[in-house]
Structure 1
């Protein structure tokens, strides 16, 4: 599990840098300011969570279900949240209706919140034991 989390963290970080660079340069020609701003939110959250996944990948041994669940919630939440934002940002440019992704984005956010809550519980529990 440790290697999976560290690999996904590295991938998320690498992709955030690549997508951030494209968003800052190449995509500005094709997307409105509003869509670029939205795209950048996806990149920012992806990078934040790449760093967190890297940290917990180095810190945790993933011996408990709570540690594994926290990691999977952050992994899934980041993917759902950021990727749905990326697609929604390009929907108008691609001339496709992706409005069904609108309600999916908050689901990704919910997974991230649960992941953070599990981390908080893990750290609070370890402090008092």
Structure 2
């Protein structure tokens, strides 16, 4: 799983940088300033959690006694990226406000992932 989470982190970092550049260069004149801020929030959390996935991949090699918790934390972060950042991207580009209801589930997944990693490190 170490390599898988490092690969997922690297791919997600690539996507976050590409989506950030797209937002900065292509969306500035296409969407409102408020929606651009929503989009940028998605990019920011995407980047932070992509780095987190790489860290989880590295931790997986050291926290071998708690491998299932480390793995669960990685998958929670992946789900968080999809739900949190993904919903913000779609919301800002489509204007469909109901998508904002999905975002908190991604935030909860992020929180769960970090708590599981902390527990795995403490055991």
Q: Does the TM-score normalized on the shorter chain lie above 0.5?
A: yes
Match of 1:112 in 2: 110
- Tell me how many residue pairs correspond in the alignment: 120
Taking only aligned residues, the RMSD between alpha carbons, in angstroms, comes to: 1.4
Distance 2:2 2:33 in 1: 39
For residues 89 and 121 of structure 1, the distance between their equivalents in structure 2, rounded to whole angstroms, comes to: 35
Q: Structure 2 CA distance, aligned partners of 1:33 and 1:101?
A: 18
Task: For 1:37-116, list aligned pairs within 5 A.
Answer: 37-61=37-61, 63=64, 64-92=67-95, 98-116=96-114
Give the TM-score normalised by structure 1: 0.86
Deviation at 1:11, TM superposition (A): 1.0
Q: Take 1:79 and 1:12, find their aligned partners in 2: how far apart are those partners?
A: 10
Write out the 4+ residue segments of structure 1 that deviate beyond 4 Å after TM superposition.
none
TM-score by length of 2: 0.90
